[in-house]
Each structure stands twice: as structure tokens, then as C-alpha cells.
Amino acid sequence: MRAFLLPSLALVLAAASAAAERGLPAVSRTLDNGMAAVVAEDRGEPVAALQIWVRAGSVFEGERAGSGMSHLLEHLAFKGDEGRSDGEIPRAVQALGGDVNAFTSFDRTVFHVRLPSRNWERGLELLTRLVFGIEIDPEMMETEKKVVLREIAMKMDEPDSRLSRLMWETAYLAHP
């Protein structure tokens, strides 16, 4: 449990720090289910930005580090499950005037929704379904594997991405 809490705490602190940099008071707490929640309210614009940060990224892929497994799961989240079809949640968020997306980094996968603040509760419901309703269909997984491998290859064609990867590989030749 401690191994999970420390990185989670770091992510919460990073989110709270980002809010503080913008002059927004942030409130953070750990929910009964162990999830950390950060709320930074800004009534300057009638927009809500909702995010779910998952402790998943290449550094947590063990022997398969850098294989793209976390990125693959991010893609599969958008493909539906028994209760919803491929693209249903993005369409529902768009119908509310918003957008939904995700990204995977070394130490996190972040799913996010932006929409008019009057729709924040429905947006949070849809975002939660997207993240926690993943059902893995073997055929869809094979299709998405190819997509992720193409994205990785495209990224390696970008000089700044290639340089960044080489820097990280050099910096962490030996680590605990």
C-alpha cells in the first residue's frame, strides 16, 4: 500500500502545486476508496476541467517497460464495453459542449474532460465510466496494439522526442 500511496501523494501534490501557481486554493483529500481527490475552484470562467490521474505509465511496466502497455489501456478505455459502444462517451461529452481525451506519460495516465461548468456532474459521471468501465475485447486489443506501435514509431521520428528518450535512458542506466 505504501508503494502506491507515495506516488499518488506526489501526483496530488503536483496537482495542488499547479493550482497554487495559478493563485487557486486547492483542497485535497483521500477518499474512502483510497483515491486522492484535488479540487481547485475557479469561478472566473463557466468551464469545468475534470481529470482522473491513474498511476500507470512506462515506469510501472516492469520487465516490459516502454512496451506501451499503459498507453494501450488508455486507448482501450475509449473503445466501449458491454454497456456502451465505441465512441459513445466522447459523443456524449461533445453533446454537452465539451471534449474528452487522455495521455500517458512515464508515471501516469491522465483522462480529462472539459465542458461547460453547468454540466460538470454529468461530465464526471462519463469520465468515471470511461476510466473504470474498460472491458478488453481481444480483437479490439490487437487493432489498438497496431495503433499504439505506430504512435510510438512516429514519436521516435521526432528529434526532440528521440533526444528526450536518450536523455532518460542515460540518466537512469542504474536505478533501484
pLDDT above 80 for 10: no
pLDDT above 90 for 123: yes
Highest mean pLDDT among 37-41, 102-106, 120-124, 150-154: 120-124
pLDDT above 70 for 19: no
pLDDT above 90 for 162: no
Q: Which helix (H) or strand (E) holds 27?
A: strand 26-30
- What's the pLDDT score for residue 5? 37
- What's the pLDDT score for residue 173? 72
pLDDT above 70 for 17: no
The model carries a pTM of 0.76
Q: What is the pLDDT of residues 87-119, one digit of tens each?
A: 899 999 999 999 999 999 888 899 999 999 999
Q: What is the pLDDT of residues 60-75, one digit of tens each?
A: 887 777 678 889 999 9
- What's the pLDDT score for residue 2? 36
| C-alpha closest to that of 8 among 53, 50, 48 | 53
* Of 134 and 84, more confident: 134
Distance CA 98, CA 94 (A): 5
User: Which cell numbers hold the place of 99?
Assistant: 471534449
Other Cβ atoms closer than 10 A to 154: 10
> Residues of the chain with pLDDT > 90: what percent?
27
Domains and CATH numbers, the chain: 45-136 (3.30.830.10)
At residue 3 the predicted structure's pLDDT band, cuts being 50, 70 and 90, is very low
Question: What's the mean per-residue pLDDT of the chain?
Answer: 80
User: Which cell numbers hold the place of 162?
Assistant: 528521440
Say which residue the cell 489498438 belongs to: 144
What are the C-alpha distances in Å from 94 to residues 29, 88, 145? Answer: 30, 10, 26
